[in-house]
């Protein structure tokens, strides 16, 4: 029995909930575009589209790799770990690019 099979259900639930939150964040970001404070909505939406697409792509990678670990019961491979790390890094880079594009200050 692999170590992945020994992880308790609460741990898996937490991982899946965090992945689902990425999708929720993407939906929340879209709602921002309709705020009255956004003057140039078309410009804002162009930048937003790229950010939301990256969140979706990265969340799909995370979900796929976690599913493989759950289905096989095997430890995540180094390739999986690198893919997950890269997926998360791409989200962070997209957030930074969106902030620059939209002149959003932290």
24-54 tens-digit pLDDT: 777 777 777 778 888 888 888 888 888 889 9
**Total domains, the chain:** 1
Give start and end residues of each alpha helix (H) in the chain. 3-6, 9-32, 41-72, 78-102
Range of the domain at 96: 3-102
Residue 57's contacts (CB-CB under 8 Å, 6 or more residues apart) are: 87, 90
- Looking up tokens 């930074």 gives 96
pTM (2 decimals)?
0.70
pLDDT tens by residue, 7-29: 556 666 777 777 778 777 777 77
Is the Cβ–Cβ distance between 73 and 1 less than 8 Å?
yes
What are the Cα distances from residue 58, in Å, to 1, 78, 85, 105?
A: 29, 17, 10, 24
């Amino acid at each position: 029995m692999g170590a992945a099979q020994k992880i308790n259900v609460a741990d898996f639930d937490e991982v899946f909930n965090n992945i689902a939150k990425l999708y929720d964040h993407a939906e929340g970001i879209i709602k921002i575009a309709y705020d009255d404070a956004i003057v140039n909505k078309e410009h804002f939406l162009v930048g937003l589209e790229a950010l939301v697409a990256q969140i979706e792509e990265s969340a799909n990678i995370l979900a796929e790799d976690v599913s493989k670990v759950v289905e096989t019961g095997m430890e995540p491979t180094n390739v999986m770990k690198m893919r997950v790390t890269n997926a998360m890094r791409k989200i962070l880079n997209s957030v930074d690019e969106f902030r620059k594009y939209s002149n959003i200050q932290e």
